[in-house]
Amino acid sequence: MDLHVIWFGLLGALLAGYAVLDGFDLGVGILHPLAKTDEERRIFVNAIGPLWDGNEVWLVTFGGALFAMFPEAYATVFSGFYLAFMLLLFGLIFRAVSLEFRGKIHSPRWRRFWDWSFFASSTVATVIFGVAVGNAIKGIPLDERGVYTGGFFDLLQPYPVLIGLLAVAVFAMHGSMFLHLKTEGEVNERLGPWLWHTWGVFLVLYLLATMYTLIAIPRATANLERAPWLAAVMVVNVIAIANIPRAIFRGRYGQAFLSSTATIVCMVLLFGMALFPNLVTASNDPALSWTIVNAASSEKTMKIGLLIVAIGMPFILAYTSVIYWTFRGKVVLDEHAY
């Protein structure tokens, strides 16, 4: 198989890993205001306490792999979305330190500040991820050198903003299911209705985004016409989304969480289908787009990268599984918790 296609797939896998794993802990941040007491807030924070840092590494590695394998796409997107990505960085910084600092001082004002910061930073980061994906699907204006020629506010057109909201909805849904699994008692009961609320909001936005994409962005479905079997992804996606209320209704919350995981994976696959073979689509002239071929590093680098992945990935999957297994079960607030 062609190295460029393999790396496109591997980047998709890293992005899917990130969206599934950091998706639930960003979702916990988005839902943080639902916790009413300090103990409940601690339960929320400690549900993701041991896990969020490792989850974020998927993003870091995605960024590193994009830099290494498709440097032109990395450089164009990161410099083109300058202010948006700075905002994203501030969001990620505040998220990390909110979690770390929040529990250190027993003062209501101190904790209120970090609670608010945890919520705001998680939400802002999620919106920016969605807006970035939306712009990638829609395409952005590039010059002859492949450099972004628009400004910050050109990124905030209706379609990308809709995808930004969709990202918030899907992570909130994913996070609510994760929290429901990790909690018990009163807070767990209070989360019950939110499984439905977040699913409902997600469904509405998902349908809106699908219609908008089908009508306004013909390029996004071009691959589907070329390879109709790809429609299987859409079918699986619909089944996964439909299975969520079924599983919740029957009290099979683990299955509901797996369904929302499948939903996110399918959405990343759809994103990849909309892009392929482009990485950055030039909205002004298709010939200026960065594709998996013209944006790529040399074959030698791609082979070295594959070797690194082949050596590293089995280890990563092994100890990530072991660590998730270690921290499974309901949240217990011991003296080492946040």
Partner 1 sequence: MDVVLLSRLQFALTVMFHYLFPPLTIGIGVVLVYLEGMYLRTRDPLYHSAAKFWTRIFALNFALGVATGIVMEFEFGTNWAVYSRFVGDVFGSALAAEGIFAFFLESGFLAVLVFGWNRVGPKMHFFSTVMVSLGSIFSSVWIVVANSWQQTPAGHHLVQMMRDGQPWFVNGEPVMRAEILDFWSLVFNPSTVHRLVHVWIGSFILGSFFIMSISAWYLLKRRHEEFAKRSFAGALTLGTVASLAAIVSGHFQAMNVYDTQPAKLAAFEAHYESGPGDLSLFGIPNDETQSVDFNLAVPGGLSFLVHESFDEPVLGLDAFRPDHRPPVAIPFFSYRVMIGLGTGFIVITLLASFLLWRGRLFDTRWLLWVFVFAVLGAVAANQMGWVAAEVGRQPWIVHPPMVVDPDGAPARDADGFVLYQSVDASLADGTERTMIAGLRTTDGVSEAVAADQVLISIIMFGLIYLLLFVLWLFVLDRKIKAGPEPPGDVPPTDRGLLEAAGALAGSVDSLTGSKGA
Residues 6 or more apart whose CB falls under 8 angstroms from that of 74 comprise 63, 66, 67
**320, two tokens:** 């990530």
- Inter-residue contact 240 to 262 (CB < 8 Å): yes
Please report how close the Cβ of residue 257 comes to partner 1 at its closest, in angstroms. Answer: 6
Q: Which is nearer to partner 1, 110 or 196 (CB)?
A: 110
Q: Give CA separation, 167 vs 27, 32, 105, 129, 250, in Å.
A: 10, 16, 33, 7, 26
Identity of the residue, 213 or 297, whose beta carbon is nearer to partner 1 in the bound complex: 297
CB of 57 to partner 1, least distance (A): 5
For residue 277, whether the previous peptide bond is cis, meaning omega lies within 30 degrees of 0, is yes
Residue 204, both tokens: 């509405």
Residue 47, classified by CB atoms within 10 Å of its CB into exposed (0-12), middle (13-18) or buried (19+), is buried
Q: What tokens does 118 get?
A: 């945890």
End-to-end alpha carbon distance in the chain: 47
In this complex, which beta carbon is closest to partner 1, that of residue 70 or of residue 276? 70
**In the complex, least distance from residue 208 CB atom to partner 1, rounded to whole angstroms:** 29
Which of residues 28 and 270 has its CB atom nearest to partner 1 in the complex? 28
Whether 143 contacts 130, CB under 8 Å: no
For partner 1, give the closer residue by CB, 216 or 318: 318
We find the least distance from the C-beta atom of residue 178 to partner 1, in angstroms, to be 6
Least distance from partner 1 to the Cβ atom of residue 226, Å: 20
* Torsion sign across C-alpha atoms 182, 187, 188, 192: negative
Other CB atoms within a 10 A radius of the CB of residue 131 amount to 24
CB of 237 to partner 1, least distance (A): 20
Query: Closest CB to partner 1 among 213 and 263?
Result: 263
Shortest distance (Å) from residue 45 CB to partner 1: 12
Nearer CB in complex with partner 1: 214/299? 299
